[in-house]
Chains A and B, each alone.
Chain A
Amino acid sequence: MSTTIIFTVVSLSLLGLLLAVVLYFVAQKFKVEEDPRIDIVEALMPGANCGGCGQAGCRAFAEACTKAENLDSLYCPVGGNPVMQKIAGALGFEVAEKAPMVAVVRCAGSCDKRPKTNVYDGAASCAIMSALYPGDTGCKYGCLGKGDCINACNFGAISMDPATGLPVVDDEKCTACGACVKACPKGVIELRNKGPKSRRVFVSCINKDKGGVARKACTAACIGCGKCAKVCPFGAITVENNVAYIDFNKCKLCTKCVAECPTGAIHAVNFPPRPPKPAAAPAAPAAAPAEPAPVAVPVAEKKEA
């Protein structure tokens, strides 16, 4: 009995030892050299694996960082500048501060401004709806309101405003990963400069129809009249395909265009409320009466004609 036990223990130990030696040499032979910095960088990452940087995930981004010669073309939108600074520190790079971005919903076609022309009762998905037909309003460019962007957001930053039927982005939670931009079949959402104190000016419409057609479908539509482009002192506004676009890199937030827009399609958000009457101020009155401007809700719900 005892000999059996001794024999078993000894033979198994020998076998273990032998295999350990084999494994050691195999491990030496097939060793994969991996940059130890990848682990360091990965530990600094937020770990959301959202793909907002354009890489497959946080580890892939970390790998790309260690291989890159500089960090100019790499940016983690979720972690933002602090994380990029840390990564740069760990890798011995220098990195310039990037202006934080935020997702902006470029459609203001709420139910009262953009009346429904038919009723959609199919599957609740923007992608399916847009594959079927142009939509349940006269505007074929605008938000369909079925919430694909909300489902795509990993950070709970988008919610549907029941009053307008349009998605609302929470500036604080939004990491500008771009998942909603990809999810929106209409291309309504754009990543834009967050702006100082979250103040920004943008055209809240992407309707490319001619002015009359666009206006008929939605009273908040950009009609491509070009008034804003004329008034802009910085040449930040271009009108193409009957729709104006504000280049956020050139825009200096003077809000002159906001006052000029005949349909109120240009929104200025998070500006402090101004007195309703223009007091000969150079920065034009955004004409946002008493509304205290909740985050990301357009202040410029202005003149109806």
Chain B
Amino acid sequence: MKTFSLGGVHPADNKISCDAAIENFPIPETAYISMSQHLGAPAEPIVAVGDKVKVGQLIANASGFISAPVHSSVSGTVKAIDTIKDLAGNPCKAVVITVEGDEWVDTIDRSDAIVKEIKLDSKEIIAKIQECGVVGLGGATFPTNVKLSPPPGKKAEFLIINAAECEPYLTSDYRVLVEMPEQVLIGASIMMKALNVTQGFIGIEENKPKAIEILNKYASAYPQIKVVVLKKKYPQGGEKQLIDAVVGRRVPSKGLPIDTGAVVQNVGTALAVYEAVQKNKPLFEGILTVTGQCSNVQKNYKHRVGTPISKIIEVTGGIPENAAKVISGGPMMGKAMANLDAPTLKGSSSVLYLTEDQTKRKEESNCIRCGKCVSACPMGLEPYLLNKLSKVARWDDAEAHFIYDCIECGCCQFTCPAYIPLLDSIRFGKAKVMGIMRSRPKK
């Protein structure tokens, strides 16, 4: 069985919510639809206070090449266009909509019938994906249409669907694969057509036997798409790691996946692409896992974008008594929520409760030069050194040691026996160095 060649760690699986079928989360009374739901420039609202909007109606335009339009996830009246606080507490612009009923835009095909035939051509597909505001749902929320348009001089050779879901606890992609395998496969075919490639892979980890079985069953009808079962290892879902695992090619330092001829898209993105292209449905819903060992419930919800997290917590019976942190995303790369009133975004993947035992940082001691962080780093970096260089602000040296290649997966910190907060300082150093690199005049 294949996996990526460098580093990696084995955190406990904890896919507790894997058997919970996807349920529709009730529509909130008020939806707060953020304008910064994607990587890049925030969208520009085009509605005014008092406007009536329907589900799926465009409410904000993309404001640049790397940007994405935003659609209303509810029907009702625009109450305000205001600054709200996001999960971290940073201010962001949002359209606040008071919900009245659930009236959808007529153009959206709401039937359950699976549309297999792809009518649009490559350019039309990419335009449609852009129009529907589809962004990468693997975490980075990079606009999908940009990823499907390789820069001049670069040629895509194959598409990889990322079904690794290597983060512990998260099960949203898994549920999508189990419940909607055909849609994902059609979504993949659409993207392959858009990219003009004839080869597709679905990279999935061995710890999801049920999904593998279902995928294999349906994939037989799609001879161009091959299901590749991978050995379980974190961070297999990292773009660069997945390419290495599936086709054995390494993305060069400072390079992009397209340099290896690969385009990687998440399972959720494939579903969103299917819905956008075949059903004309913009991206305004997402699958979100509510889980945790201390959690009262284990659920997978289809939520409307803009539902306040506090509402999800309330409906699922409140924050469990012994929960110490509420995390958005998985325990490895997810972020603790500083503001529970923040709304869900297109890329929201979970509400994860962790106990104090699980989150408490142990007391830091001295580096014993064991080298565990070096062998765990999937990018082949030297975390102990980057940590030191960041601490003393030696940015030139940090750059010479490839700090910009860090993918912030947290393997080094996870494996450190001295509990040194390696990732904290490396992430800080990386941001500094990237800033310095960007400020240099381009050659």
State the A residues within 8 Å of B (CB). 117-118, 121-123, 125, 127-128, 131-136, 140
Contact = CB atoms under 8 A, between A and B. Distances in A.
B425 A125 contact: yes
What 8 pairs between A and B have smallest CB-CB spacing?
A: A123-B424, A133-B88, A123-B421, A134-B89, A118-B338, A128-B428, A128-B424, A131-B428
Given A123-B421, A134-B88, 10 more contacts: A118-B89, A118-B338, A118-B339, A121-B359, A121-B360, A121-B361, A123-B424, A131-B428, A133-B338, A134-B89
A61 to B, nearest CB: 22
Interface in B393-428: 421, 424-425, 427-428
B90 interface: yes
A179 B40 CA distance: 34
Contacts of B48: none
Contacts, number: 42
Nearest to B88: A133
Interface residues of B, number: 16
Interface string B154-166: 0000000000000
B83 to A, nearest CB: 9
Contacts of A134: 88-90, 338
B431 interface: yes
Interface string B90-105: 1100000000000000
Interface string B311-342: 00000000000000000000000001011000
Contacts of A117: 89, 338-339
Contacts of A133: 88-90, 338
Output the residue of B338, B360, B421, B425 with the most chain A CB within 10 A. Answer: B338
Given A131-B427, A131-B428, A134-B90, A122 B338 contact: no
A250 to B, nearest CB: 33
Nearest to A132: B88
A66 B251 CA distance: 55
Interface in B346-360: 359-360
B183 to A, nearest CB: 36
Contacts of B431: 131
A39 to B, nearest CB: 31
B406 to A, nearest CB: 14
B425 A123 contact: yes
A127 B395 CA distance: 15
Contacts of B421: 122-123
B92 to A, nearest CB: 12
B425 A140 contact: no
B424 A122 contact: yes
Contacts of A131: 427-428, 431
A113 B386 CA distance: 38
Contacts of B90: 133-134, 140
Interface in B417-443: 421, 424-425, 427-428, 431
A121 B424 CA distance: 11
A78 B268 CA distance: 60
A271 B421 CA distance: 44
Contacts of B359: 121
Contacts of A125: 424-425, 428
A140 B338 CA distance: 12
A117 B89 CA distance: 10
Nearest to B421: A123
Nearest to A122: B424
8 contacts: A117-B339, A123-B424, A125-B425, A128-B428, A133-B88, A135-B89, A140-B89, A140-B90
A122 B421 CA distance: 8
B404 to A, nearest CB: 15
B341 to A, nearest CB: 11
Contacts of A140: 89-91
A16 to B, nearest CB: 43
Interface in B273-298: none
A241 B424 CA distance: 32
A118 B90 CA distance: 14
B428 A127 contact: yes
A151 to B, nearest CB: 10
A9 B88 CA distance: 79
Nearest to B431: A131
Contacts of B361: 121-122
B338 A128 contact: no
Contacts of A118: 89, 336, 338-339
A99 to B, nearest CB: 32
A134 B342 CA distance: 14
B220 to A, nearest CB: 47
B425 A128 contact: yes
B190 to A, nearest CB: 37
Contacts of A123: 421, 424-425
Nearest to A138: B89
Interface in B80-119: 88-91
A271 to B, nearest CB: 37
Nearest to B87: A133
Output the residue of A128, A132, A140 with the most chain B CB within 10 A. Answer: A128
A122 B428 CA distance: 12
B331 to A, nearest CB: 14
A132 B336 CA distance: 11
B314 to A, nearest CB: 19
B80 to A, nearest CB: 15
Contacts of B89: 117-118, 133-135, 140
A118 B359 CA distance: 14
A158 B183 CA distance: 62
A123 B424 CA distance: 6
A133 B87 CA distance: 9
Contacts of B336: 118
A162 B34 CA distance: 39
A121 B363 CA distance: 11
A135 B361 CA distance: 18
Nearest to B361: A121
Contacts of B339: 117-118
B114 to A, nearest CB: 42
A123 B338 CA distance: 16
Nearest to A140: B89
